[in-house]
């Protein structure tokens, strides 16, 4: 699993151990490994940035009950929600920066007529 839990723009390595409900997250900013108890047996890890602050939030989904638990990186508070397992991708997304590549023409360009360039 990967996510940017510390918000430095780089992915952090994360492992969820469901038997103990422990998350092991290696923060890319410091290299330190954090151990956080969240979830447990039968829970699926679904980390995502749910609150839109740029940092991935710890989140687990419990299929038997259909409950989601999201721990906001903003205030550390847990939100639980009943819902189906659909990936709630609702972030702003990146608009992308596509466009024609900028090519320098060197200030000299001729289409059909002959030009002398120096
Ligand atoms: Ca990071
Ligand atoms: Ca967040």
- pLDDT for position 21: 97
Distance in Å, CA 5 to ligand 1 centroid: 5
Q: Please, what is the end-to-end C-alpha distance for the chain in angstroms?
A: 57
Distance in Å, CA 21 to ligand 1 centroid: 21
State how far the Cα of 118 lies from the Cα of 104, in Å rounded to an integer: 16
| Mean pLDDT taken over the chain | 80
Distance in Å, CA 11 to ligand 1 centroid: 5
Distance in Å, CA 85 to ligand 1 centroid: 26
Segment 18-71, tens digit of pLDDT: 999 999 999 999 999 999 999 999 999 999 999 999 999 999 999 999 999 999
Q: Is 89 left (phi over 0), alpha (psi -120 to 50) or beta?
A: beta
Q: Which listed ligand is nearest to 57 at the C-alpha?
A: 2
The more confidently predicted of residues 110 and 29 is: 29
Q: Which residues contact 17 (CB under 8 A, 6 or more apart)?
A: 23, 24
Stretch 85-108: mean pLDDT, rounded? 40
State how far the Cα of 83 lies from the Cα of 7, in Å rounded to an integer: 27
Distance in Å, CA 113 to ligand 1 centroid: 56
Q: Which listed ligand is nearest to 55 at the C-alpha?
A: 2
State how far the Cα of 72 lies from the Cα of 3, in Å rounded to an integer: 14
The more confidently predicted of residues 85 and 84 is: 84
State how far the Cα of 75 lies from the Cα of 59, in Å rounded to an integer: 14
Phi first, then psi, for residue 20 (nearest 5°) are: -110, -10
State how far the Cα of 57 lies from the Cα of 12, in Å rounded to an integer: 12
Distance in Å, CA 52 to ligand 2 centroid: 5
What is the percentage of the chain residues whose pLDDT exceeds 90?
A: 66
């Amino acid at each position: 699993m990967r996510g940017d839990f510390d918000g430095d723009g780089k992915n952090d390595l994360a492992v969820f151990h469901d038997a103990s409900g422990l998350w092991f997250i290696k923060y890319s900013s410091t290299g330190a490994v954090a151990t956080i108890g969240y979830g447990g047996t039968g829970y699926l890890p679904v980390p995502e940035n749910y609150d839109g602050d740029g940092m991935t939030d710890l989140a687990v989904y419990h299929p038997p009950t259909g409950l989601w638990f999201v721990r906001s990186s903003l205030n550390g508070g847990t939100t639980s929600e009943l819902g189906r397992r659909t990936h709630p991708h609702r972030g702003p997304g990146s608009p992308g920066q596509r466009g024609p590549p900028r090519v320098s023409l060197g200030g000299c360009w001729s289409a059909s007529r002959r030009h002398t360039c120096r």
